[in-house]
Amino acid sequence: MSLLKAIIVEDEEASRETLKNYLNKYCETIEVVEMADSVKSGLTAIKAHNPDVVFLDIEMPYGNAFDLLDALDDIEFEIIFVTAYRDYAIKALNLSAAYYILKPIDIDELVAAVDKISAKKKAGDDNFHTKILMDNLKSNAIQHKKIVLPQMDGFEVINVNEIIRAEANDNYTNFYLTNGSKFLVSKTLKHFDDLLSDFDFIRIHKSHLVNLQYITKYIKGKGGQVRMSDDSIVDVSATRKKELLEKFN
């Protein structure tokens, strides 16, 4: 099989070198065809090589990763974002289930990301993550934001405001949607709690994350319960009761 063509866009030389060295050493399916130190040179390289995968540093002088993606009409390649630490971009990446690795680069993480990309390429899947990521970044209205929910057999893309509630199920999470459907997602509830807290979701229980706008009734009790628009009754833990009630005052 042919090697995946990779381009590294990263302003710092040390980081570029590090990434290149590790890819050469540990990722045999990838061949770094060019390295760029800015958005501008990155765009030129992408156009020149039509890469399979781009390692893209988020923060660079003279424009960041999203400036680069904005400049492209069509994104045919997979992207592995590289970032120095968890900043605002991480949430957006997670929402669209984009691939990213953190600096200083963890070799195992790098290998896992590359493996996933390789598998995907083999299966011939579309690169819809990036499209959703860009859509989300461009739309400011909450109701238009989309979330990518990874499942055993692929991904489900839904509007955030279609989710009525999520319920923990060991290391997985059950999602209940407005159309009455329910499905299991292979991520923890904690992951979605972090992700959805900006969208009027509230963790009312160790096992429950609910969308505030679908709560139809609060039933008094030690912690109490809430009834959701789909008539499901969800427990509220005593410790989170106050936080919930404050949202309604």
Partner 1 sequence: MVQRLTYYLLLTLLCISANVMFAQEQYQQKSSYSKIRSKSADSRVAEVQSKLNDAQKLFKKNPEKALDLVHDGLLIAIKENYLNEEAEAYGILGQFNFDLNEYSLSLKNYNKAIAIYTNLTNSSARKKSKSPSNFQRKLNQLFHPAGKAAELSNDLILGATYYRQYLNNVTSDNDIVKARTALGDISLKSNDLNTAETAYKTALKIEQKRDNKNGITILNLKLGELEKVKKNAPKAIEYFRNSQNTAIQINNDKLANQAFTNISRIHQEEKNIEEGIQINQEALNFNQERNNQSEASKNNIDIANFLLQQDKNEEAIGHLQNSVTIAEKTGDIVNQSKAFKALSEAYDKTGQESEAIKKYKEYQLLEDSLYNLRKTQLATQNKKGAMLENAQNKLSLLEKDKQLNEKTIEILQQERIIQEEFITQQRILTYSLLFGILILLITAFLVYRSNKAKNKANKLLILKSLRAQMNPHFIFNSLNSVNSFISKNDERAANRYLSDFSRLMRDVMENSQEDFIPLSKEIDILEVYLKLENHRFKDKFDYSFTVDKSINTEDSLIPPMLIQPYIENAVWHGLRYKEEKGFLKVDISQKGNDIVITIEDDGIGRKKSQEIKTENQKSQQSTGIKNIDSRLKIIEDIFKTKLDVTIEDTNKVQESGTIVTVKVYQENLTTNE
Q: Output 83 or 173, the one with its CB closest to partner 1.
A: 83
Q: Give me the 97-116 binding string for partner 1, x by CB under 8 A, dash otherwise.
A: ------xxx-----------
Q: Output 62 or 184, the one with its CB closest to partner 1.
A: 62
Q: Output 101 or 215, the one with its CB closest to partner 1.
A: 101
Contact call for residue 61 and partner 1 (CB under 8 A): yes
Task: Confirm if 31 and 3 have CB atoms less than 8 A apart.
Answer: yes
Q: Output 22 or 155, the one with its CB closest to partner 1.
A: 22
**SS3 for 177-207, per residue?**
ECCCCEEEECCCHHHHHHHHHHHCEEEEECC
> With left for phi above 0 and alpha for psi between -120 and 50, is residue 31 left, alpha or beta?
beta
Minimum CB–partner distance for residue 193 and partner 1 (Å): 24
Show the DSSP H helices in the chain as ranges: 13-26, 39-49, 65-70, 88-95, 107-123, 128-138, 189-196, 238-248
Question: How many C-beta atoms surround the C-beta of residue 221 within 10 A?
Answer: 11
Contact call for residue 136 and partner 1 (CB under 8 A): no
Minimum CB–partner distance for residue 67 and partner 1 (Å): 5
Contact call for residue 64 and partner 1 (CB under 8 A): yes
Question: How many C-beta atoms surround the C-beta of residue 54 within 10 A?
Answer: 27
- The C-alpha angle with vertex 111 and arms to 41 and 51, in degrees rounded to 5, equals 30
Beta strands at 53-57 and 78-83: parallel, antiparallel or unpaired: parallel
Q: Per CB under 8 A, which region of 16-24, 168-176, 191-199, 224-232 contacts partner 1?
A: 16-24
Minimum CB–partner distance for residue 64 and partner 1 (Å): 5
Residues that bind partner 1 (CB under 8 A): 12-15, 17-18, 21-22, 25, 59, 61-64, 66-67, 70, 84-85, 87-88, 103-105
